Chains A and B, each alone.
Chain A
Amino acid sequence: MVKEIEVEPITRLEGHGGMRVVLGDDGKVQDVQFNVQSTRFFEKFVEGRYCEQVPRITPRICGICPIPHHLTPTKAVEDAWGVQIPEPARKLRQLLINAKQYSSHLIHFYALTAPDFLLGPFADPALRNVVHVINKMPDVGAMALKMMDFGQRLCAAVGGKAIHPIAAIVGGMKKPLDEDVRDKFLGVIDDQIEMTKKTVDIALKVIDDYWDVVANVGVVPTYYVGMTKNGVHDIYEGDIRIVSPTGEKTDYAPQRYLEALGEHIPEHSYATHMYYKPAGYPEGIYRANCLAMINCADKMATPLADEALKAMREKIGTNVIHHTFAYHWARIIETVEAIEMIATLLKDPDIVNPDCKTLDVQPREGNGVGITEAPRGLLLYNIWSDAEGICKKLNLLVATNHNIAGIEKSLMHVAKQVFEDKALDGLKLPDPWIK
């Protein structure tokens, strides 16, 4: 008899998803599916609207990552119209996207992931959540809330609103940061850096504790897609970078994305599978998100984060890391970079420079591409504008698109490990930190 294991809804997920594992009579895994909500209808209903309106509508695709969904279409329109933004605008946007990266990564680590590691995989599901963590480890809980709060407040200060921001306009940013607001954030930045370092210590302890799991479960070679600026980790601007399972790197200017990124429509799934075109399907299935970004980077943009990256590569022993559980580690390295970037940018006089928008903005016919790295993976907007600035078409690639094939591939791998190879038996697990 065929047995189906269904998880619906998947909890502790930003968004809605379900997964299904199908086991045959012989106990072999026949199929896995990972289903998530589609974003396609946004592409349709922005058609016929003014291009400037697109960045005010699309943040509603994701309330966890509305800032990339605000900045990326703005960049795409600027590309289509040939608009050059002033340097202070670029820095304000970098500050904004790093503030989002910081808060989002911390929400992920503390509120979504930590309960698994701190309580262990066999804990009572009713207790396996951040509320219980806060009750049992009030110091860590208070610290986590303070850090997320800093990120969200900074998003609101630069973005106008933290969720569904309004600050970026085609041509730059509406206004610089107020000096007294900047000073308030600068006043607590050292405190935030210290808390980030403590978070790194917690994460490294978790990785040590669960080393047997990290090193042996879900080690799945795939391609990776991310973004770098001249090889350096960057979440605001740069080229698309593809890394092969053996670590070969290829760069594509954003406008050339169709040469690199292919969409396959599999028979067994509702969603399309993305793959690296030159490698073909299914060989070219890739993964996105923080581990992919870490695999793409020659180096991190800031010193502490770069040290952390070197340490990670040394411990795992390779430059391209296929360990699915190392996503959590990669996320922490990106968190370190985000707070270092925030500190550097807050000290930069351009952040309070009123010369942060150009008035030289004229609609013209053509299409433009914008990319950023959203907290869950590469985000790409390709917008077609007519001569009056009306959006004729939008092609949108969000992290969810990039990740589905990769998630199903790693899910298949782990399902075989669990149900066929009984690989979980005998794994070394630590005593739970909290019960």
Chain B
Amino acid sequence: MKPKILISSLTGCSGCISTLLSLDIFPQFLERTKIIYFPFIMDVEEIEECDIALIEGCVSEDSQVNLLKKIRKQTKKVYSIGTCAGFGGILSLSKKRIAEPVSKYIEIDGVIPGCPPPSKLLGNCLIKLIENREIDVDIPKKNLCATCPLRGEAEENFQTKITQINPNPEEIIPVEEDTECFLKRGILCLGPITRDGCEHVCIKEGLPCEGCMGPVSKSFFSNTINFISLIHLSKKIRNYDGIFYRFSKPTFKR
């Protein structure tokens, strides 16, 4: 029997769904599953029993909570796709709007993180899910620094003075053999508190990590406090809201 799939979008940009549609394995995914609910491309509006639910977007309205509860009741396994569904996402920076992760309202079976999730990661996870295997991305073991291609990985308790949030244009260069760690160059990089799995796309392109893969561990708050204690923010830098948790504010609060 092909697993029955439900795909639902809450508040967000549809970038995760868009990533899913352009996966190499999307034709294979169609072949091996039976999609029963997917408003983005299908006209069915009723929610039926299914095996796997994939949810993108954050929760920002009451009606979405009801929808989630209905989905949970009818579904064997529920997964948050992307950083909005997983950790609240970028919309949680808004002071005028609620933006919470799915897990605040219903029990979930895992998070496939990223903004949007990297294609390879999402593709591998989906194949595992349709083969009824466990996905292991929701217990992040490593931070981004552990496998960083830059020279001089951030060792325990290093101290640094951060003078910049944005690299200057001349500093934005694709990584070469001996490009030095952003933090050591005085540029804020969230690698130490961000989970790996993105294959360092931004860092390889010359930009520091902004944390879009979400927090590295469940103790995000203490982790971040520890990180902040190691760096001295130059007075030049405006300390604005969400500087350390642009994509994961609700997770940070808890």
Contact = CB atoms under 8 A, between A and B. Distances in A.
A50 B166 contact: yes
Contact of A41 (B15, B89, B96): B96
A283 to B, nearest CB: 33
Contacts of A134: 27, 30
B169 A160 contact: no
A361 B172 CA distance: 13
B21 A107 contact: yes
B11 A37 contact: yes
Interface residues on B, range: 35 or more
Contact of A131 (B12, B41, B97): B41
B39 A63 contact: no
B169 A359 contact: yes
B202 interface: yes
Interface string A139-179: 00010010011001000000011111011011110110000
Contact of B169 (A45, A142, A161, A171): A171
A14 B9 CA distance: 10
A313 interface: no
Contact of A53 (B17, B43, B166): B166
A107 B238 CA distance: 41
Given A11-B45, A112-B41, A134-B27, A63 B18 contact: yes
Contacts of A49: 238, 240
A15 interface: yes
Given A37-B11, A44-B96, A57 B169 contact: no
Interface string A41-55: 100110011101100
A160 B12 contact: no
A287 to B, nearest CB: 22
A5 interface: no
A64 B18 CA distance: 7
Contacts of B193: none
Contacts of A1: none
A128 B116 contact: no
Contacts of A390: 238
Interface residues of A, number: 59
B116 A11 contact: no
A44 B240 CA distance: 13
A37 B9 CA distance: 13
B165 interface: yes
B22 A152 contact: yes
B247 to A, nearest CB: 9
B169 A170 contact: yes
Contacts of B240: 48-49
Contacts of B35: 131
A60 B205 contact: no
A62 interface: yes
A360 to B, nearest CB: 9
A66 interface: yes
A302 B68 CA distance: 48
Interface string B1-29: 00000000101111111110110001100
Contacts of A126: 42-44
A76 to B, nearest CB: 16
A63 B43 contact: no
26 contacts: A11-B42, A11-B43, A12-B39, A12-B43, A48-B240, A50-B166, A60-B13, A60-B15, A63-B14, A66-B15, A103-B22, A107-B18, A107-B21, A111-B41, A126-B44, A128-B43, A129-B38, A129-B41, A131-B35, A134-B30, A152-B22, A164-B15, A171-B169, A172-B169, A174-B205, A361-B168
Interface of B: 9, 11-19, 21-22, 26-27, 30, 35, 38-45, 89-91, 93-97, 115-116, 165-166, 168-170, 172-174, 201-202, 205-207, 210, 212, 238, 240-242, 246
Interface of A: 9, 11-16, 37, 41, 44-45, 48-50, 52-53, 56-57, 59-64, 66, 103, 107, 111-112, 125-126, 128-131, 134, 142, 145, 148-149, 152, 160-164, 166-167, 169-172, 174-175, 357-359, 361, 390
